[in-house]
């Protein structure tokens, strides 16, 4: 029975998990959950019964059910050790985790769709203010991530790790919102290297089954 991943095509958190599943060569089924305004399937009772937090991604693997992308990647690493996505030794393992948390904890939550909607609807931010907010937190996070990253071709060496699973979706979002990224040369080079791999291509938002409906 394949792993089941509740996903939304533009969710960067779900994008991370799709990349990891592909890198590990796991068979999985995508269950689309629309986060689109006016649809909001994630807020309906049917999905709330599956995931009380009402967010994606959510992974089911037999009797195992897990929310939160970092927890899902850690589960996959422990359960399916083929194609390891964490270095074997310290301090390399912790360095990869720290890089991931820079994105998952310090960039993504401040630029999440829920936050941007609140800024506009409740605090009266216009498009420019929203864009400035988004760009500010991208730059704050990417400056630190650029300093931590290794010398390639991927974020930390010759093989993709969790770090690449987190970086590529965040770079996709930065480009989507037209945030200048040229000065982050190591992050740009790592992203370009990743996007040549089939695992990353298959995980791309435009390649998802629910992309055509949006």
Least confident of 125-139, 146-160, 176-190, 193-207: 125-139
Six-digit token string for 189 = 């080079």
Q: What would the pLDDT profile of 4-44 be if each residue is shown by its tens digit?
A: 999 999 999 999 999 999 999 999 999 999 998 889 899 99
**CA within 13 Å, CB half, 37:** 5
Kindly indicate the confidence band of residue 94, based on its pLDDT and cuts at 50, 70 and 90: very high
Q: What's the mean pLDDT when you consider all of the chain?
A: 93
In this predicted model, what pLDDT tens digit does every residue of 48-87 receive, in sequence order? Answer: 999 999 999 999 999 999 999 999 999 999 999 999 999 9
Write out pLDDT tens, residues 130-169.
778 888 889 999 999 999 999 989 999 999 999 999 999 9
Residue closest to 138 by CA, chosen among 181, 97, 169: 181
**pLDDT confidence of residue 214:** 65
In the predicted structure, residue 204 carries a pLDDT above the cut 90: yes
Sorted by where each starts, the structural domains of the chain and their CATH numbers stand as 3-84 (3.40.30.10), 92-199 (1.20.1050.10)
Write down the pLDDT at residue 187: 98
Task: Return the closest-CA partner of residue 183 out of 158, 147, 153.
Answer: 147
Cα–Cα dist 3/35, whole Å:
21
> Rounded to the nearest 10 degrees, what angle do helices 127-148 and 162-176 cross at?
150
């Amino acid at each position: 029975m394949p792993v089941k991943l509740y996903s939304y095509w533009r969710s960067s958190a779900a994008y991370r998990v799709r990349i990891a599943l592909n890198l590990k060569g796991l068979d999985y089924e995508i269950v689309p959950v629309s986060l689109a305004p006016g649809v909001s399937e994630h807020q309906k009772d049917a999905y709330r019964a599956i995931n009380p937090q009402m967010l994606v991604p959510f992974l089911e693997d037999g009797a195992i059910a897990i929310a939160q992308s970092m927890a899902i990647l850690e589960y996959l690493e422990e359960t399916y050790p083929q194609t390891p996505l964490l270095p074997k030794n310290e301090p390399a393992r912790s360095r990869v985790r720290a890089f991931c948390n820079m994105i998952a904890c310090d960039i993504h939550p401040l630029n999440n769709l829920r936050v941007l909607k609140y800024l506009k609807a409740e605090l009266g931010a216009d498009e420019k203010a929203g864009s400035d907010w988004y760009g500010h937190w991208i730059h704050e996070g990417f400056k630190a991530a650029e300093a931590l990253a290794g010398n390639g071709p991927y974020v930390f060496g010759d093989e993709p790790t969790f770090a690449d699973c987190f970086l590529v979706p965040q770079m996709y979002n930065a480009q989507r919102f037209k945030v200048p990224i040229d000065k982050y040369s190591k992050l740009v080079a790592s992203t370009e290297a990743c996007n040549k791999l089939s695992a990353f291509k298959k995980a791309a938002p435009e390649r998802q089954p629910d992309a055509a409906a949006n």
